[in-house]
């Protein structure tokens, strides 16, 4: 399936896709534009394969992370990806297929800053992605960490630019994205994994039958080792057998 991109608005394609998928383009390595402008990434590959198995065409629409939730709830898009964590709170208003990636948060700083962990954030300002689990963590732990402030961003790139410029002292976000982003940028350092036990999945409007259809496809893809292969492609290693990239799991439900 050819994944086309609409930047910040309606899908601008010459054909009508069966499925419109919202994504925060720029969320490496999940969905981003490569040097040629093509939309690529772990979740792009995954969604294209899911659509192929369903016999449907797909187009991506670029939407800020916080906008993905109302977009699926209103029916503007059919589903959403962007390393979206399944939470009990979110399950009250949206549905998810089974997870396909296990993650945690992380703290990234300038290598020369001298900050070695979250204990070094007292009196400092951190950046987070608006409405993300990093935002939730920083907000809930502001007093404990002694934070001076929280700056909110719509994606990794503007946050890292502000970190480099010294406008924030650290950036709390998903560890796989930061490890991928900083691997060839020695001026940055991921100094702490913040264990949150997150699992990522594809998000749908509440009780949308499409969620169950996609869930069945994910079960098949796990059984074939397809998702494990994506993990190796994008992260350079096969996932552990105990992770949701390999294990078939139930669709999550609200508690």
Q: Contacts for 27-32 with beta carbons within 8 Å, 24 or more apart?
A: 27/65, 27/82, 27/83, 27/155, 27/156, 27/177, 28/156, 28/177, 28/180, 28/181, 29/176, 29/177, 29/180, 29/234, 29/235, 30/81, 30/82, 30/83, 30/177, 31/60, 31/81, 31/82
- Tell me the C-alpha distance between 203 and 90, whole Å: 10
Secondary structure letter of residue 38 according to DSSP: -
pTM: 0.85
> For residue 80, is the peptide bond before it cis, meaning its omega torsion is within 30 degrees of 0?
no
**What does the pLDDT profile of the chain (255 residues) look like in tens digits?**
444 454 333 333 435 799 999 999 999 999 999 999 999 999 999 999 999 999 999 999 999 999 999 999 999 999 999 999 999 999 999 999 999 999 999 999 999 999 999 999 999 999 999 999 999 999 999 999 999 999 999 989 999 999 999 999 999 999 999 988 998 999 999 999 999 999 999 999 999 999 999 999 999 999 999 999 999 999 888 999 999 999 999 999 988
């Amino acid at each position: 399936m050819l994944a086309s991109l609409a930047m910040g608005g309606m899908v601008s394609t010459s054909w009508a896709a069966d499925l419109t998928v919202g994504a925060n383009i720029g969320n490496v390595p999940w969905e981003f534009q490569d040097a040629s402008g093509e939309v690529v990434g772990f979740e792009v590959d995954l969604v294209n394969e899911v659509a192929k198995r369903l016999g449907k065409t797909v187009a991506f629409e670029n939407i800020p992370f916080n906008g993905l939730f109302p977009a699926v709830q209103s029916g503007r898009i059919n589903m959403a990806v962007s390393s979206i964590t399944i939470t009990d709170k979110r399950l009250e208003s949206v549905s998810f297929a089974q997870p396909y990636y296990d993650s945690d948060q992380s703290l990234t700083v300038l290598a020369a800053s001298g900050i070695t962990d979250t204990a070094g954030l007292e009196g400092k300002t951190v950046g987070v992605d608006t409405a993300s689990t990093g935002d939730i963590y920083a907000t809930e732990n502001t007093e404990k960490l002694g934070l001076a402030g929280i700056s909110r961003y719509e994606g990794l790139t503007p946050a890292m630019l502000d970190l480099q410029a010294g406008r924030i002292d650290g950036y709390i976000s998903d560890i796989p994205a930061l490890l991928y982003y900083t691997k060839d940028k020695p001026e940055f350092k991921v100094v702490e994994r913040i264990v949150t036990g997150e699992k990522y999945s594809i998000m749908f409007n509440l009780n949308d039958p499409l969620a169950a259809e996609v869930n069945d496809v994910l079960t098949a893809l796990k059984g074939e080792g397809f998702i494990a292969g994506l993990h190796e492609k994008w992260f350079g290693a096969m996932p552990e057998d105990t992770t949701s990239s390999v294990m078939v799991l139930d669709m999550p439900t609200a508690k």
